[in-house]
Every structure is written in C-alpha cells, then in structure tokens.
Homo-oligomer: A and B are copies of this chain.
Amino acid sequence: MGNCCERLGPQKNTYVRVSLPAVCLVWQIAMIILFGVFIRYGKESDAHWVEYKHKNNLTDIDNDFYFRYPSFQDVHVMIFVGFGFLMTFLKRYSYGGVGFNFLIASFGLQWALLMQGWFHSLDLDTGKIYIGVENIINADFCCAGSLIAFGALLGKVSPVQLMVVTLFGVTLFAVEEYIILELLHCRDAGGSMVIHCFGGYYGLAISWVLYRPNLHQSKQLHGSNYHSDLFAMIGTLFLWMFWPSFNSAIADHGDGQHRAFINTYIALASSVLTAVALSSMFHKRGKLDMVHIQNATLAGAVAMGTAAEFMITPYGALIVGFCMGIISTFGFVFVTPFLEKTLKLQDTCGIHNLHAVPGMLGGFLGAVVAAAASEDVYSKEGLINVFDKEGKYANRGMGTQGGYQAAGTCVSIAFGLVGGAIVGFILKIPIWGDAADDHCFDDEAYWELPEEEEETLPPVLEYNNHMIHKGQDITESSFCVEQS
C-alpha cells in the first residue's frame, strides 16, 4: 500500500502552506484597514435612523430592509449553496467546488463593498461609503461574476489563483458596472450584462490562456458519480428557485420587483422543458444527461436578467426561456467540445453555455425590449420610473436607450475578454501552487481527505488504476490489501 499512498500523496507543486495563509491574512487585514477608512453604516442602518424617521414622518416598515432583505437572503443562498453545490458534481473535487466557492465569495463580497462603494456610493463630502441592504446585495452580485469564472477553471487552479481571479474579477466588475450603469445609463437589474456576460467571458479568457494540453491525463477524475451529481442538483435547484429573487432583488420597489420576479419565474419554467427535450433528443437512446438538467434549465433566467423588470410580457418571458433552454443544451452537446478542440478552450462547467452566451443574448434582448418601450405599454410615469428617465436622461429616446443597452453588452464582453486574458497571464507565473495536468480535479491536492476514502472508490478499480499508473507488479497475493 505504500505506493498507493504515494499516488494519493502530496504533490510538491501544490504546496500552498505559505501562499494561501499569506494571501488570506494579508488581504483580510487590508480589508479591515480599508473598511476602517471608508465604510460606515448607511442612513437606514445607523442608530440615527430613529431621529431621521421621526423628522420625516416615516415608520419602521419604510426602511429599505423590509423591501429587500428577503430577496437578499435568497441571493445569498444562490451565491453560497447554489454556485457552491452546483460545482460539487465532480466525483473527487466536491470539496474544492463548494469550499473554494465559499472562500472566494467571502473575500469577494468584502472587496466588492469597497470597489462598488468607491464607484457608486462614495459620499464626496465625507469621503465615506455608507452601506445598507442594497449595497450588500450588490456585493453578492459582484462576487457572482468571479464565481462564474471559477466554473470554467474548476479543478485546474489552486485556491491562491482563485483569490487572484476574484481580486481582479471584482475590480473589473466594478469598473465595467460603473461604465454600463452610470456612464451609459443602462438598466440591468438582474445582471445579464454586468454579471453573466462579463463573468462568462472573463472565465473563458482565463481558461483559454491557462490551456492544459495534457489535461486528458486527469480524465479518470474528470466526471461525476451517482451521488456527486445529486449534490450538484441541490445547487441547481436553489439557483433555479431563487433566481426570481436574484433578478428582482434590486429592481424598483413595488411593480418593478413584482414584475421582475414573475418574468424570471416564467422563463425558468420554460427552460426546463426545452432543456429536457433537447437533452433526450441529442442522446442516441433518448436518455437525459444530468449536465443539461443541472445547467441548461437555468439559462432562461440568465437571459432575463436585463429585461426582467421591463414589460416583456409573460409570453415574451416564456419565449426567452424556450429559446435559452435549446441554445444552452445545444451548447453543452456541440459547442463546448468544439471550442475545446478548435480554440483550445477548456471549460469545466460549461459556463460558455450557461452564462457567457445567455448573458450576451440577454443583454441584446434587453436592448430590443428597451427600444420597443412606449408610453402606451408603460404609462407615462411608468416609463420614467422603469428607465430612470430623470435629470439629463429625461429626454433620451427609447431607441437611443436600446442602443446604449447594446453598447453596454459589448462593454461587458470586452472587459471580460481583455481582463480575463491579462489575469490568465498573471496566473501562468509558476508560483501559485496549481496541480500538474495529471493531478487535476483531485481534492487530494488541497484537502485533508478522510482516511476511509476507499469507501467511495471501487477497491479493485482503484487498485488497478494504481497498478496502471505505477506499473506495479502484482501477484495473486497482493489482493490481501488491508484497509488502513
């Protein structure tokens, strides 16, 4: 069994005992200092609210907390359980999937509060960022971009690299979001553009730069088993169920949140049916593939991100979901293998099909729906309200708004691709502790695994794999292997 221990044993190049603690501690200390300098409670979360409330004849229920906190909690579940468990599908990288997701989201949301604060909420008089529930939701959103990128890299990078991906991902996110939402004055409540399209292309660009020509050497671990796919379904379902909250969390109070949730709910239902239909149709025996059920069923919501708060109509939402279920499943079956073969693009979770393309299409869809908006459909006040036609934007025509929305989508793609390529090159520096091509998708590298791991691997297969790898000679007697 000595050899066996070697196989499962440490890989020199994945030693992160210095770099991982250093990055976590130093960056966390930096967060504390920056929070100390910049972050303060917002008006509605400060103890002064009691006086403010009395002065302005408000009641407690007017506090934004009661409008947004339930949606926040749903978003929070999506970020940590949704994304986290969706990435447990690999049979021996489930800890990495859910654990590193946990780590980088926890860092990302802190950094996002600062980055988004500087760009969106900085009070120029006091130099402080005043935070409340909406900032917190946006911080979770901002993390989502980096978590999407993680999907493309799953199993191939070290936790230290993921921290770097998140540091730059959040930074780029805050800048592109500022350009899209503030400078171009686009609407993007559910983040088709700023979250999914950006996050998708960001991850794909990094993965493209980090291409591993010999990844096939890890193929015995590059797949799921019966229960790991079931764990991943937990992630899928929590994403699917709570996506109506995601798209409505920061929509306008009242009808805006109400409509955004309905549109997303409807689009998602439709995606499930077409994803199932295509999954069965593309299999030679008509069987369903868990990869499609876990992912393509969600594509409708990604594409509804921008348009969810618009008057896209319920049947419009159904059509979006219908098309996205088809496009996404098609992508998993044909496009991802094609990209890997021709573009040398390795995309572990298929974020191309769930985030990049549906996000991009959602951005353009939002442009079209915005351009088609009219006072007939929205009412005069409604149109102003939905598209924030105030101040210098009061006279912007809806066609122009559509053009700006389309431009916003292009900005997000550009930020994703260029930013991702740069970050990819940074990650190629051989100091980050990533595994060799033949040791990817293996929790062994970064996790102390339970001793009884034999329990979930088939003993003889293990043994034989071992034999094959190590070229060990086996006589009959060697089947007297003992469980350690």
Contacts and interface: CB of A to CB of B under 8 A. Distances in A.
A121 interface: no
B276 A237 contact: no
Interface stretch (A91-99, A178-186, A192-200, A415-423): A91-99
A389 interface: no
A300 B284 CA distance: 46
A478 B456 CA distance: 22
A116 interface: no
B245 A73 contact: yes
A343 interface: no
Interface in A235-254: 237-238, 240-242, 244-245, 253-254
A484 B472 CA distance: 13
A382 interface: yes
Given A241-B81, A382-B50, A481 B455 contact: no
A431 B8 CA distance: 46
27 contacts: A15-B286, A16-B280, A20-B286, A31-B270, A32-B270, A45-B259, A45-B262, A47-B259, A47-B378, A47-B383, A50-B255, A50-B382, A63-B255, A63-B257, A64-B258, A76-B244, A80-B240, A81-B234, A88-B230, A92-B226, A98-B233, A106-B268, A132-B262, A223-B452, A287-B446, A464-B466, A480-B481
A45 B255 contact: yes
Contact of A95 (B84, B229, B461): B229
A397 to B, nearest CB: 18
B280 A20 contact: yes
Interface stretch (A35-43, A204-212, A350-358, A362-370): A35-43
A448 interface: yes
A41 B447 contact: no
Interface centre among A10, A91, A269 (most CB of B within 10 A): A269
A103 B297 CA distance: 10
A428 interface: no
Nearest to A26: B277
A276 B478 CA distance: 39
B269 A17 contact: no
B225 A450 contact: yes
A46 interface: yes
A230 B95 contact: yes
Interface in A287-304: 287-290, 293, 297
Interface string A448-484: 1111111111111111101000101011011111111
B484 A481 contact: no
Contacts of A458: 452, 454-455, 459, 462-463, 466, 483
A317 to B, nearest CB: 9
Interface centre among A92, A266, A314, A458 (most CB of B within 10 A): A458
B241 A77 contact: yes
A288 B446 contact: yes
Interface string A297-324: 1000000000000010111001100100
B482 A277 contact: no
Contact of A483 (B36, B45, B284, B484): B484
A330 interface: no
A372 interface: no
Contacts of A64: 258
